[in-house]
Amino acid sequence: MTFSELATYLDQLEATSSRNALVRILAEAYKACSVEEIEPITYLIQGRLAPFFEPVEMGLGERLLMSAIATAYGTSKEDVTKTYKQTGDLGLTAMSLGPKTRDDTPSVIEVHQRLWEIAGLSGEGSLKAKLDLFAALLGDLDAASAKHLVRITLGKMRLGIGDPTVLDALSFAKKGDRSLRPVLEAAYNRSSDLGLIAKTLWAQGLEAIEAIKVTVGKPLRSQLAERLPNPEAVIKKLGLVGVQPKYDGFRVQIHKDGGVVNIFSRNLETMTPMFPELVAATVSLPVKSVILDGEAIAYSPESEEYVPFQETTARRRKEGIDEFATRVPLRAFVFDVMFRDGTDLTPLPYEQRFAIVDEMLKGSDTLQTAPLTKTDSVEVLTRELLDNISRGLEGVVAKRLDSPYQAGARNFNWVKLKRNTSGELTDTIDVVLIGYYGGKGKRAEFGAGALLAGVYDSERDEFVSISKLGTGLSDEGWRDLHKQLSRLEVGEKPARVNSLLVPDVWLQPELVVEVLADEITPSPRHTAGMVGDQPGFALRFPRIVSFRSADKKPEDATTVREIREMFQQQHQRAVRD
């Protein structure tokens, strides 16, 4: 496949506003792929050169790209700047200046290799070399291809192709229906690498997909917790449980392979440079290879207190990490182990995995085992919950002692119990902003009135509306938010957004916001959970609590399934009360 042919598919994907059409077009593109092409294409359609967890950066910002466009098309930088001002999009700028057609355009594989080469250059003189190579590549492409190449390079490919859409498309391309999705998804949960899955399916078939193993260096998708309303419900449903404090820190998946340590966030981004003290502590562990799961939390030696999530994540800014590490060093409370010295431990019961963690971490100060209390008593569980809340922690997580580690699953193997500010036992909801209304009066000054928020339908890979959001932010907060929103504005409803309400401005679903609401109510206006003529769900009195985009991708937002469960639990509680 030439890159130009891929660009034609990308144009079609960009033009559609339906999620089914995304799957169909992508499946067509996949059908046209050879074994060698399918892996790079899988990364490129998501605007990447490698899986999400590999921090491959092209290192070419807007200014350099403008120079490259000028060089490639023999125009002046002023011309490029002028066109950019008119189009507001560097991809469209390249398209309008480049030649409409060109013979002998390079293959997808070649373009991927050349981009890879550019990304690999570093050190003195590398900027000039990157620029020259990129200009040469642009010079070999037609205008439509140049548009996508520039967007990929800037990391601004907004086709909105989520991982489940890729899995569905692979299944359609191979089988003509969605039936392969569960097997593909299970392999994806173990490896987080869509390119590997696509290549394995094309080259070796379904059996080889089932054989894709847990591997050090490739993050597993995180196991997540379900909710239950109170300790009684937990003991009734799970029986004997292991109870642990729920730390309000930063989820870390720590991989050690010999002397190499990698640390991944909850949404599988590589975060290694952010955590030098965890890396050092992991190197010293008495194992050759290991995968650990835990929660990193900043600890202030002066006050002897744990510092909450927001401050822990302040380290994301690259500068000052060393200063942070001295002032508020991190600890990680490790609660699981998935792999050790060549053996996949995920099938073992939790009790055994926990014993392995406990033994392995003896003597480490930075990596501590999250304490575990075994109980089948409602009183003990209630006491643990209240104790932890009074110590300033979020609550507890109760775990089934006989459960395997189920990568990517949110099920009753783990149940979280938290307390909200009003003293009721409920949980916050993570919504994705999908649009906003102009707003009247004071709010209009800041550019946004009410926000339109959605949750994630993981089955359909769609964002469905659940609430308007209008309160909880100061004027300053609104102003900051507006800056973030303007980056995400799009002219048309994105293909993966499904909403009956039409906001004044649609947003690319990206920004995750944590909200607290009084109640979930049925609503004919919102599409979250809407099936046939059954109404959807809405949030009553939602308030913004925090911005979660630091550690959550839009697909990590609360799902429709969770909303339905929370609605049912709330109903049970109302009946009981």
> Site residues (CB under 6 A) for ligand ATP?
222, 224-225, 244, 246-247, 251, 266, 295, 335, 370, 397, 410, 416
> How is 199-236 classified by DSSP, letter by letter?
HHHHHH-HHHHHTPPP-TTSPPPPPEEEE-SSHHHHHH
Toward ligand ATP, which CB reaches closer, 208 or 386? Answer: 386
Helix (H) or strand (E) holding 462: strand 462-469
Toward ligand ATP, which CB reaches closer, 56 or 224? Answer: 224
Q: How far apart are CA 381 and CA 211, in angstroms?
A: 39
Give the number of residues written for the chain.
Answer: 577
CB of residue 494 vs ligand ATP: minimum separation in angstroms?
A: 23
Q: How far apart are CA 127 and CA 119, in angstroms?
A: 10
Toward ligand ATP, which CB reaches closer, 247 or 324? Answer: 247
Toward ligand ATP, which CB reaches closer, 510 or 514? Answer: 514
Toward ligand ATP, which CB reaches closer, 145 or 253? Answer: 253
Give the gyration radius of the chain's Cα atoms: 25
CB of residue 338 vs ligand ATP: minimum separation in angstroms?
A: 13
At residue 122, what is the residue type? S
Toward ligand ATP, which CB reaches closer, 397 or 431? Answer: 397
Cβ pair 193, 200 in contact under 8 A: no
Find the DSSP H helices in 261-397.
276-283, 309-313, 321-327, 350-360, 378-390
Would residue 418 show up in a list of annotated catalytic residues for this protein? no
Strand 250-257 to strand 260-264: parallel, antiparallel, or no bridges (unpaired)?
A: antiparallel
Cβ pair 391, 303 in contact under 8 A: no
Instruction: Give the closest residue to 419 by CA, choosing from 394, 445, 454.
Output: 394
Cβ pair 539, 467 in contact under 8 A: yes
CB of residue 295 vs ligand ATP: minimum separation in angstroms?
A: 4
Toward ligand ATP, which CB reaches closer, 244 or 498? Answer: 244
CB of residue 529 vs ligand ATP: minimum separation in angstroms?
A: 19
Cβ pair 264, 53 in contact under 8 A: yes
CB of residue 528 vs ligand ATP: minimum separation in angstroms?
A: 17
CB of residue 3 vs ligand ATP: minimum separation in angstroms?
A: 38
The angle that helices 35-44 and 108-120 make with each other, rounded to 10 degrees, is: 60
CB of residue 335 vs ligand ATP: minimum separation in angstroms?
A: 4
Cβ pair 145, 106 in contact under 8 A: no
Helix (H) or strand (E) holding 103: none
At residue 318, what is the residue type? K
Instruction: Give me the catalytic one of 130, 147, 218, 246.
Output: 246
Q: How far apart are CA 1 and CA 535, in angstroms?
A: 45
- Residue 393 CA to chain centroid, in angstroms? 25
Active site residues: 246
